[in-house]
Amino acid sequence: MKILLKVTPTLERVLAHGSERGDRLHIGPANLAHSSNIQTQIVQPLRATYSIAKNRDGMQTRVSFSVNVTFPDTQEAETYALNYPNTLEREGEVWFVSRLNEVETVKKLLVAVIDNVTTSQFGVNITINYSIVGGQFS
């Protein structure tokens, strides 16, 4: 699966290259997790045996995953690990593109924000962890 951040119609960032392999490619996603929470109101009537839960909608979709990136030397890996979180655009649509038997399927997380990016380095390898929050999948 390839994961893209569409910032504008002409600007996109590849967050995960899927199964492609090579130097400087974001290989993954790995540890892909997804949750969708709604706002819930809890009503606690006096002297009632149980509380009452009410759905107040406002769904929040959270997706997290990690990718691995390999560089030719440690200095380039260090520079990338330190600079990448500061240079990455943080808002847009996140596209999840999968391909099976020459058929491409795209799921879009609309009005998404990358709310956390962490990098860890070991030699020439970097692991990047993304946490993305958005609204509706389309």
pLDDT tens for each residue of 13-27: 999 999 888 999 999
The structural domains of the chain, ordered by start, are 2-134 (2.40.30)
Percent of the chain whose pLDDT exceeds 90: 72
- Check: pTM over 0.75? Answer yes or no: yes
pLDDT for res 8: 92
Write out pLDDT tens, residues 89-124: 999 999 999 988 889 999 999 899 999 999 999 999
d(CA 7, CA 5): 6
pLDDT digits (tens, 9 = 90+) for 34-56: 998 888 888 888 888 889 888 88
Residue 13, pLDDT score = 95
